[in-house]
Chain A
Amino acid sequence: MNIARQMLALAFCASAFFSAAALAASDPDAPDLILKGDAKCTSCHDEADDTKPTMLDLRPSILAIGKTKHGVIADGRTPSCTDCHGESESHLNHKGSGNPPKPDRWFAKNTDTPVDARNETCLTCHQGGKHMNWQSSIHANRDVACTSCHKVHTDHDKVRDKRDQTEVCFSCHKEQRVQVNRPSHHPVLEGKVACSSCHDVHNDNPKTLIKSSTNDTCYTCHMEKRGPFVHSHQPVTEDCGICHNPHGTTSPNLLKSRPPFLCQSCHDGLSHHGAAASLPRGPGSGNFQTVARGCLNCHTNIHGSNSTQNSSDGSATGYNQSQSLRR
């Protein structure tokens, strides 16, 4: 019996070596490696053809689909190769030398498959749930394909890993690449907050945010700002983005500009409101609208106050302390 099997093996080897041209086309008798019916592909795109993932990431590892959720056939929804790439008859039936024609749909950077066709492939299964509004999203309408960001043939899709996600997003969003390196920033580069913590790129919310407004998005982490407060600060209730740039700033606390400049973009110049930016010469100099916390040195509860203590301590000649967000 052993001899018979070894003879069979030799026959296969001989066939492999001496019938290369025929083997360039798919082998109908080859077994499936990962997906149902994948033999027509993996008989050529096999381990000899495959590129093991390396840090250079130069080309996809075809067989790495097996490491992913797309490679689990126990899940009846899992597609086959041709579900995504098309039947690709001309590609499969290519014989002889030279490059075979491309599959019906292919997804490399230099693809000639139109974006809509590429995205329709994914949407066949992924149209529901949180991808429902993809077609009306900014990305879809700027010719971004699903595979512009997602890599399917890898178990490490960078855009789904919050530590590496910025590599993908910054390939287009250059301004944000600079801003997250400013002194005041969210912990994006530190891997604790991802772009997708705030942005749902598959959705059509304003600024592609995860919620239907800027404030509702910010409240997911900064819920104490939701209020309402006995004494409110109008722009706080309207849009956090009026004063803050969440991607990073040179001003402290992600402020678009420093006090007093930022505050003077709305407030009048009566009395101390109109102070020019200046650095005190020492303690007791007065007029601390620029250094330390700037205007917030006194207007300390700038997002809103719930105090009803209404006059200045012991010197009740002043304005209402709590209404001016001082406590």
Chain B
Amino acid sequence: MDSNNTFNPRLSVITLALLAAFGGPAWADDEIDELIKPESTVSIGVGHWSNDRPQQGIYDGMRENESPHLLIDADIVKRDDATGTWLRFETRNLGLDNREFSGEWLRQGNIGIKVDYNRITRESPQTFNTPLQGAGTTNQTVVNSGLATAPRRDLTLGTTREQTGLSFYKNLLPGLEFNVNFKHEEKTGERAWSPGHAVQFVTEPVDSTTRQLEAALSYTTKKWQLRGGYNGSWYKNNNPLVRVGYTGAASNTNPTYLSFPGDNEAHQLFLNGGYNFTPTTRATLKLEYARALQDDYLPTSGVTDWPAAVQAAVGPDKLDGKVDTRLAQFGLTSRPFKNFSLNASLRYHETKDKTPIRTFSTAGQPYNATAPDYVRNSYKTITSKLEGTYRFAEVYSFTAGLEDKRQDRDRPLRVTGAEKDIVVPLRSEVDELTGRLELRRSLSDTANGSVSWLHSKRSGNRYKRALWDHSDDIGLGGLQDVRNLTNPLHMAKRDRDRLRVSVDWSPLEALSLQFSAEEGRDKYHDHSTMVNGLDKGTNRLYTIDAVYTATDALKLNAWYSYDQNKAEQSHYRTHTTGGAGGGFGDPAFKYSDLQDTGNSLGLGLRWEATSRLDIGADLEFFRSVSQYDQDVVPLDAGGVPVFPTTANLSLGAPDIENKLLRLSLFSVYTLDKSSKVRFDFIHERWKTDDWTWQFADGSPFVYGANVNTDGTTVYTKPKQVSNFVAVRYIYSFR
């Protein structure tokens, strides 16, 4: 209700009078219907991008080579008010490669069914010019002979997901509902891959089927609620293996077999319950039990043309993978006093790997001690949380919370029961304790906000050492020490602090401002014996948003964000053997200071210029700079090999700057009560000096470090400028 207009002749009263007098003229019904009946819209148009946009068009299905684009959207809704029956058909991007549509029939509160289709495309921004034979198939041949005359072609890699869904809903009794959702996905395409033993180009042919089913029964009363059911998921890989051969004779001409993930499936039973002891005290319970299975044939088990130098696989032809997951969680929320509330929970989550420990290849190879026996990875995590909030002075609240997370991990075992060799030192226990304080102001007309501080400490038991010595002592010398100098990032002892301040301020009725500042610091420890790994981390974010409603017809908004993420880490290089310090010793250290810094800006305008014309404009600008500063100490002379060498390498990685500017303009002109025309114009500029697919001099990356080179060249488009124009006709009806 418009409170400034107290003398307001009520049209409903007038309408009532007119209805009584004239039997309900159509215009009166129309006006009310426009406000209270669902509206359908159909939009049909055409759009065109002036240039290709390999980076910005990865997902939007509008690469220039497919232009012009047919733009079709529709949302058609029919409702029978007498029975509460909805019939809905919706489509987006129907004329594009990433189209989607759905149809739904629903008798509200009783029964419903929905069918949907969604297509997600991903086109790689790189172009691969390659002589590779059989790209995208399971039998590929790297051309390493007659390269000068070998036919080459351009490959643009990409994947497509086609998702089909079916949902059914039925209200069985008051409060008792049954839901079932099924989703089927076919994923096809190809991605960049490698035979593994050298920097060569082959493609990963993607062809898989995924199915997911959830069936749940929910029962709800005012006092208690239950929801339980079944979740099933199935993954089928239609490509078991890729054979990579070579056209020419060379040192590495034997076929290589690249494996795919095997078919897997998981079955879960779940139960979730809630009970209201009082209007202010509630308990919840979650129980889940899941079993994941992977019993597909090992892809290399049927291979017969192994190279002479490679021994065939032995042992079982299946992994018989079995992983059980259990969850039990109890939660309690309560407001024992008017101004004080509590939130407590205890959570037990266990992933138990029950896959048999077996050997799948013949022993006797060099480095036999690292033969590929299956390694189990099991985790048991217990998390307890307690948080209290005290409200005072009507608009303030103070929150203090504590969370303790304790994780136990399996130690890898060999077939014999002994501990298996590992390549990274591991901990069998990792614990993290987090405390949090927050002061919040809310419910004020003009200024609300919060300031919060979080501190956490992560630690664990002593590391199990990598490779042959599994003791948790340090200082045995030789390779044992050299390979145990790095704290893994997810287990390292760490102190974390986070400070966050946010303010919502409305100095004027027409103006609202939002400030937010965040500063986080991580400090990693344990460097006395394991001197390398992450050392420090910083993240910060400063942002301001403003919305100004100039008039009832004009609204402006603006925002700016500065963000920075830093990681400082130390690492080292050492000779494989024979260094000046003897054997593996005398590592040379390097220290990296990695930074990602972003500046982002957005400006927007929405203007109802006339009763028929709406105009909008958005300007977005994003700039990110990634820095890779390194302080590298040269290795002592002698030994093999020394990385890097100045002759072949740049000795350093330059900064990378990405810039995106996008100006979007649109106008919507109302032709009549049911018809509109919309015009769109977008100017988009993308620029990068990303060297991911470049050599040090900026030339395109060419595959091949040895005799197997096929000269596959990778092209990127570092600067992309394109304009988009579109016109749409929009028809609305009821």
Contact = CB atoms under 8 A, between A and B. Distances in A.
A292 B199 contact: yes
A64 interface: yes
Interface in A1-54: 2, 5-6, 8-13, 15-17, 20-21, 23-24, 27, 30-31, 33-34, 42-50, 52, 54
A169 B385 CA distance: 25
Nearest to B430: A238
A74 B83 contact: yes
A159 to B, nearest CB: 17
A250 B648 contact: no
B194 A296 contact: yes
B22 interface: yes
Contacts of A187: 58-60, 120, 122
Nearest to B272: A132
A87 interface: no
Contacts of A100: 1, 3
Contacts of B573: 269, 274-276
B371 A306 contact: no
B429 interface: no
Contact of A278 (B175, B355, B574, B649): B649
B274 to A, nearest CB: 5
B197 to A, nearest CB: 5
B371 A285 contact: no
Contact of A293 (B2, B194, B351): B194
Contact of A284 (B225, B310, B383, B706): B706
Interface residues of A, number: 174
A234 B343 contact: no
Nearest to B704: A283
B245 to A, nearest CB: 10
A308 B361 contact: yes
A270 B423 CA distance: 11
Interface stretch (B8-16, B44-52, B130-138): B8-16
A198 to B, nearest CB: 14
A178 B199 contact: no
Contacts of B98: 190, 192
B17 interface: yes
Contacts of B20: 5, 8-9, 12
Interface string B620-635: 1010101010101000
Contacts of B366: 311, 316-319
Interface stretch (B34-42, B63-71, B723-731): B34-42
B571 A46 contact: no
A136 B333 contact: yes
Nearest to B204: A300
Contacts of A182: 598, 622, 624, 658
A46 B309 contact: no
Instruction: Name the residue in B16, B21, B284, B620 with the highest tally of chain A Cβ atoms < 10 Å from its Cβ.
Output: B21
Contacts, number: 585
A9 B227 contact: no
B371 A320 contact: yes
Instruction: Name the residue in A13, A64, A67, A309 with the highest tally of chain B Cβ atoms < 10 Å from its Cβ.
Output: A309
Contacts of A122: none
Interface in B172-223: 175, 177, 192-199, 208, 210, 212, 218-220
Contacts of A64: 35-36
A83 interface: no
A248 to B, nearest CB: 10
Interface string A289-320: 01111001111110111111111111111111
Instruction: Name the residue in A27, A127, A212, A287 with the highest tally of chain B Cβ atoms < 10 Å from its Cβ.
Output: A212
Given A8-B20, A266-B424, A227 B294 contact: yes
A228 B355 contact: yes
Given A20-B6, A141-B343, A304 B38 contact: no
Contact of B374 (A58, A177, A226, A230): A230
Contacts of A65: 36
Contacts of B2: 49
Interface stretch (B148-156, B453-461, B468-476, B484-492): B484-492
Contact of B701 (A13, A67, A274, A292): A292
B243 to A, nearest CB: 11
A297 B194 contact: yes
Contacts of A228: 292, 294, 319, 321, 323, 353, 355, 374, 377
Contact of B532 (A127, A251, A269, A283): A269
Contacts of B261: 224-227, 229, 303-304, 306
Contacts of A321: 196-197
A283 B709 contact: yes
B390 interface: no
A178 B600 contact: yes
Contact of B479 (A224, A270, A304): A270
Contact of A33 (B3, B36, B60, B321): B36
A114 B341 CA distance: 14
Contact of B10 (A48, A112, A216): A48
B304 interface: no
B695 A183 contact: no
A110 B508 CA distance: 13
B489 A242 contact: yes
Contacts of B349: 212-213
B162 interface: no
A278 B488 CA distance: 23
B434 to A, nearest CB: 12
Given A178-B561, A274-B587, A327 B17 contact: no
Nearest to B122: A187
Interface in A242-257: 242, 249-252, 257
B702 A283 contact: yes
B197 A141 contact: no
B630 A277 contact: yes
Given A23-B13, A229-B261, A67 B36 contact: yes
A307 B576 contact: no
A269 B574 contact: yes
B690 interface: yes
Given A30-B12, A74-B81, A252-B692, A8 B702 contact: no
A121 B574 CA distance: 65
B569 interface: yes
B366 to A, nearest CB: 6
A129 B374 contact: no
B502 to A, nearest CB: 8
Contact of B197 (A174, A272, A292, A326): A326
A288 B256 contact: no
Contacts of A271: 574-576, 641, 643
Given A58-B555, A66-B35, A239-B490, A136 B343 contact: yes
B625 to A, nearest CB: 9
B84 A74 contact: yes
A1 to B, nearest CB: 10
Contact of B377 (A43, A98, A237, A242): A237
B537 to A, nearest CB: 10
A28 to B, nearest CB: 13
Contacts of A274: 571-574, 587, 590, 643
Nearest to B711: A283
A72 interface: yes
B660 A265 contact: no
Closest 7 CB pairs of A and B: A12-B17, A66-B36, A128-B220, A74-B84, A326-B196, A9-B21, A274-B573
17 contacts: A6-B22, A12-B16, A72-B84, A96-B6, A132-B225, A135-B343, A174-B516, A181-B622, A190-B98, A223-B233, A226-B266, A227-B294, A228-B353, A274-B573, A274-B590, A282-B702, A303-B261
Given A5-B23, A281-B695, A314-B309, 15 more contacts: A46-B12, A72-B108, A75-B110, A130-B227, A136-B343, A143-B397, A204-B329, A228-B321, A280-B696, A281-B697, A291-B701, A307-B257, A308-B372, A323-B371, A326-B196
